[in-house]
């Protein structure tokens, strides 16, 4: 009985599930995914040059290759995914539990990658690349047959594109995902080719009018893509995990520059560095900071770390103690983009934060809209009652500056004074300012 079952459901050559069993498996995971609201992807895979192998080396070699491909594909996906043989040199892979298109793209890219390694058949190296078409449940079809047809169509698009590639059925997904993958590989080479720079936006003491430091803002110039703003690549790097490497580079570079400037006479300057909440998922921030300070022989009080509200709201003991240790080094801590996240303010007093940066959207609208001015005033009062200092971001006009002074705001930064500047220009700006304010 069991034997008949296996015969009916499995491919005789590879032992993989056949189309019949693949359909059943799909229907099971599709049903489950309705509740979890996750995607199921059908990846239709076709070898690029199977006919040549069969014709030149014979059917036995062709069969051996198919068996090796089956093993490799199984090794490239999780054991809960289904790899099935559809016949000939066609395979179907069902991947469930996917949160988004990018994770599907990662799986497809991995398959292309493992297949690109040569196979050894009859002690000969054979290259057997493949083309993959992807259709997603439920977006590209509601039943197995529709999805299979769409994945097959997408596979032909991959062949047309020059083989050894994958394509989504949905054209828009292709552009999104391709752009995304371009950025990921662009970031990888940017780190290798040293394409990142830090620019520095001056910060001012509103009472004395003196310049007190700068916020370091990352800049990326890619020879092909041009200048790519941080708002476009930081979230990609956060999802791909590359933010850890970028973050290490940023802290080190900021410390290196701060030391250079101190030696050149900019004594009390504090450089603020942006940290992504994702960087806290690994525990190398503290080590990065200590390493950079030691390497450049810099006082910890020359550095400020800008944290996001979302990081503090989770109220994790682990983050609390980590921030305590970092603060104990003498590094300053501030909260960035304050007012855009949560309105639960209780967390502020539980962390060792000293400054709060009011988000620029409030400052920009403040002089036009009395509601926004009310919010700014409330934030400043609340911050002061918690013994926190306030930095206003995005100050563009004298009017806003005067109002902020009246409200008791301590510091400011924005285009009213200057945008972020390359290091040499920042140095000249600092010298000119010191000259002005004496």
Binding site for ligand C2E (CB under 6 A): 201, 217-218, 229-231, 234, 250, 274-276, 336-337, 360, 394, 396, 414-415, 419-420
Q: What is the 3-state secondary structure (H, E, C) of 122-179?
A: CCEEECCCEEEEEEEECCCCCCHHHHHHHHHHHHHHHHHCCCCCEEECCHHHHHHHHH
- Contact window for Ca ion (CB under 5 A) among 225-233, 334-342, 347-355, 407-415: 334-342
Task: Compare residues 67 and 270 and give the one whose CB is closer to Ca ion.
Answer: 270
**Distance of closest approach, residue 333 Cβ to Ca ion, in angstroms:** 13
Binding to Ca ion by residue 337, rule CB under 5 A?
yes
CB atoms within 10 A of CB 124: 11
**Under rule CB under 5 A, which residues in 360-399 are in contact with Ca ion?**
393
Q: Is the peptide bond before 242 cis (omega within 30 degrees of 0)?
A: no
Report in angstroms the alpha-carbon separations of 269 from 196, 272, 390.
23, 10, 17
134 binds, among Ca ion, ligand C2E, none (CB under 5 to 8 A by kind): none
Binding of Ca ion by 336 (CB under 5 A): yes
Smaller CB separation from Ca ion, 253 or 306: 306
Query: Could you identify the residue written with the tokens 């300070």?
Result: 293
CA distance 366 to 409: 14
Q: How far is the CB of 119 from ligand C2E (least distance, A)?
A: 43
Between CA 196 and CA 208 the distance in angstroms is 34
- Tally Cβ neighbours within 10 Å of residue 116: 12
Q: Write down the least CB distance from residue 296 to ligand C2E, Å.
A: 17
Least distance in angstroms from the C-beta of 308 to Ca ion: 9
Cβ distance to ligand C2E smaller for residue 62 or 394: 394
**330-348: burial string, b at 16+ Cβ within 10 Å, e else:** ebbbbbbbbbebeeeeebb
Size of the site for Ca ion (CB under 5 A): 5
CB under 5 to 8 A by kind: which of ligand C2E, Ca ion, none does 230 bind? ligand C2E
CA distance 325 to 133: 50
The least CB distance from residue 209 to ligand C2E, in Å, is 17
Q: Which of 100, 88, 97, 98 is nearest to 44 (CA)?
A: 88
Query: Which residue's CB is nearer to Ca ion, number 81 or number 336?
Result: 336
Cα–Cα distance, 309 to 349 (Å, whole number):
13
Q: Work out what residue 276 binds among ligand C2E, Ca ion, none; the CB cut-off runs from 5 to 8 Å by kind.
A: ligand C2E
131 binds, among ligand C2E, Ca ion, none (CB under 5 to 8 A by kind): none
Rounded least distance, CB 339 to ligand C2E, Å: 12
Nearer to ligand C2E, 342 or 415 (CB): 415
CA distance 167 to 263: 54
What DSSP element (H or E) covers 334? Answer: strand 332-338
Nearer to ligand C2E, 33 or 433 (CB): 433
Residue 201 interacts, among Ca ion, ligand C2E, none and using kind-specific CB cut-offs from 5 to 8 Å, with: ligand C2E
Residue 342 contacts which entry, Ca ion, ligand C2E, none (Cβ below 5-8 A, type-dependent): none
Smaller CB distance to ligand C2E: residue 180 or 235? 235
Dihedrals φ, ψ of 412, to 5°?
Answer: -155, 160
Q: Are strands 124-126 and 119-121 parallel, antiparallel or unpaired?
A: antiparallel
Query: In terms of CB distance, is 48 or 306 closer to Ca ion?
Result: 306
Q: What track of x and - describes contact with Ca ion for positions 272 through 291 (by CB under 5 A)?
A: --x-----------------
Structure tokens at 263: 């030696």
Closest by CA position to 140, among listed 177, 171, 99: 171
Instruction: Return the residue of 46, 48, 304, 306 that touches Ca ion, per CB under 5 A.
Output: 306
SS (H, E, C) 34-92: HHHCCEEEEEEEEECCHHHHHHHHCHHHHHHHHHHHHHHHHHHCCCCCEEEEEECCEEE
Shortest reach from residue 423's CB to ligand C2E, in Å: 14
> What residue ranges bind Ca ion (CB under 5 A)?
274, 306, 336-337, 393
């Amino acid at each position: 009985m069991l034997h008949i079952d296996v015969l009916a459901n499995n491919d005789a050559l590879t032992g993989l599930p056949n189309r019949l069993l693949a359909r059943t498996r799909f229907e099971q995971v599709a049903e489950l995914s309705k509740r979890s609201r996750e995607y199921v992807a059908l990846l239709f895979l076709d070898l690029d040059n199977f006919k040549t192998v069969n014709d030149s080396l014979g059917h036995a070699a062709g069969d051996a290759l198919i068996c090796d491909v089956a093993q490799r594909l199984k090794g490239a996906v999780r054991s809960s995914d289904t790899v099935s043989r559809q016949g000939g040199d066609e395979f179907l892979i069902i991947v469930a539990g996917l949160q988004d298109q990018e994770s599907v793209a990662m799986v497809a890219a991995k398959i292309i990658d493992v297949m690109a390694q040569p196979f050894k058949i009859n002690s000969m190296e054979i290259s057997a690349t493949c083309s993959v078409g992807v259709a997603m449940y439920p977006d590209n079809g509601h039943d197995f047959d529709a999805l299979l047809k769409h994945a097959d169509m997408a596979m032909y698009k991959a062949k047309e594109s020059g083989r050894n590639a994958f394509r989504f059925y949905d054209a828009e997904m292709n552009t999104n995902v391709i752009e995304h993958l371009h950025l990921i590989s662009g970031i990888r080479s940017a780190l290798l080719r040293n394409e990142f720079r830090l620019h520095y936006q001056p910060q001012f003491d509103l009472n004395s009018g003196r310049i007190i430091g700068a916020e370091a803002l990352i800049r990326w110039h890619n020879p092909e893509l041009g200048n790519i703003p941080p708002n476009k690549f930081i979230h990609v790097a956060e999802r791909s995990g590359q933010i850890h490497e970028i973050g290490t580079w940023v802290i080190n570079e900021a410390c290196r520059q701060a030391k250079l400037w101190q030696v050149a006479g900019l004594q009390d300057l504090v450089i603020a560095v942006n940290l992504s909440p994702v960087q806290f998922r690994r525990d190398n921030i503290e080590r990065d900071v200590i390493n950079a300070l030691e390497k450049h022989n810099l006082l910890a009080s020359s550095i400020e770390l800008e944290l996001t509200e979302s990081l503090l709201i989770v109220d994790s003991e682990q983050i609390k103690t980590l921030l305590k240790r970092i603060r104990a080094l003498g590094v300053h801590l501030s909260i960035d983009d304050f007012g855009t996240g949560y309105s639960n303010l209780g967390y502020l007093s539980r962390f060792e934060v000293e400054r709060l940066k009011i988000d620029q959207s409030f400052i920009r609208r403040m002089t036009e809209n009395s509601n926004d001015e009310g919010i700014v005033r409330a934030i400043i009062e609340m911050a002061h009652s918690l013994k926190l200092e306030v930095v206003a971001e995005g100050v563009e006009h004298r009017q806003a500056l005067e109002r902020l002074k009246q409200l008791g705001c301590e510091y400011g930064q924005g285009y009213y004074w200057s945008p972020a500047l390359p290091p040499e220009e920042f140095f000249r700006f600092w010298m000119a300012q010191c000259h002005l304010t004496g």
